[in-house]
Structure 1
Amino acid sequence: MFAIYLVVTLLTSAINGLAAIANFSGHEYPKSQADKLRVPRSWMRPLGALLAAGALGLLAGFAVPVLGALAAAGLVLYFLGALWAHLRVRDYQLGPWAAFFCLPVAALAVSLAYHGPW
């Protein structure tokens, strides 16, 4: 069980950390998504900070399990907000969103299964 917890948590942290870096560096993909979803580009850094906090919180969960579970839950809420943004503009191409959403859901489930619900 620990191996699954380790792999899912590290993968989720890495993917969200890379997404945060893309937001911070001004990569074209987050900019195009912001434009498509009619989200102000000025929000890219704060949204990147939320992704980075989630990624770091998942890693901190190895030392303090509650932090990891809370970080995973926060990322789940983040991506539910992203779903709302997609649906608000009637963008139903949700493949990339689904991939990003499933990772923190899996991390939360594995964390709760491994550590128990507090």
Structure 2
Amino acid sequence: MFIAYAVVAGLLALVLAASATFTLQRNEAIVASMRKVQVPDGWLPRLATLKAAGAIGLVAGLWVTPLGIAAAVGVTLYFIGAVISHVRVRDFELAPAAVLTLIAAAALVLRVAA
């Protein structure tokens, strides 16, 4: 189970780090998606920070189990919020957020089981 967690957490951390970077750089695709779900521009740095913290926590969770569990819970909640935000404005292009929710939940289950 630990190897599975390491793979899932590593890949998810890479996605989160890239997304955080693009969010901080105000990448047009990211900003457009955030605007579509009515996220204020002032929230972008905070959301990027949450993604970066999740990435760091998932990787640190390889050595510190409670930190990995906490990070996986946080990332799962983050993406549940993203799915809810899409549904709230009736934007049904929510596959990326839904898939990342499932991957984060898988990381949580794998870390708890390891």
Q: Give, in angstroms, the shift of residue 11 of structure 1.
A: 0.7
Return the alpha-carbon distance in structure 2 between the equivalents of residues 101 and 53 of structure 1: 16
Return the alpha-carbon distance in structure 2 between the equivalents of residues 30 and 41 of structure 1: 11
Return the alpha-carbon distance in structure 1 between the equivalents of residues 2 and 82 of structure 2: 30
Return the alpha-carbon distance in structure 2 between the equivalents of residues 5 and 35 of structure 1: 33
Q: Give, in angstroms, the shift of residue 3 of structure 1.
A: 2.1
Matched, 1:21 2:5: no
Cα deviation 1:9-29 (Å, max 9, x = unaligned): 101111111111111111112
Please, which runs of 5 or more residues in structure 1 have no aligned partner? none
What amino acid does structure 1 have at the position aligned with 2:95?
Answer: G
Q: Give, in angstroms, the shift of residue 65 of structure 1.
A: 0.6
Return the alpha-carbon distance in structure 2 between the equivalents of residues 66 and 38 of structure 1: 34
Cα deviation 1:22-54 (Å, max 9, x = unaligned): 111111121001111111111111000000000
Moved over 4 A (4+): none
Please, which runs of 5 or more residues in structure 2 have no aligned partner? none
What amino acid does structure 2 have at the position aligned with 1:90?
Answer: R
When normalised by structure 1's length, the TM-score is 0.91
Match of 2:32 in 1: 32
Return the alpha-carbon distance in structure 2 between the equivalents of residues 71 and 100 of structure 1: 14
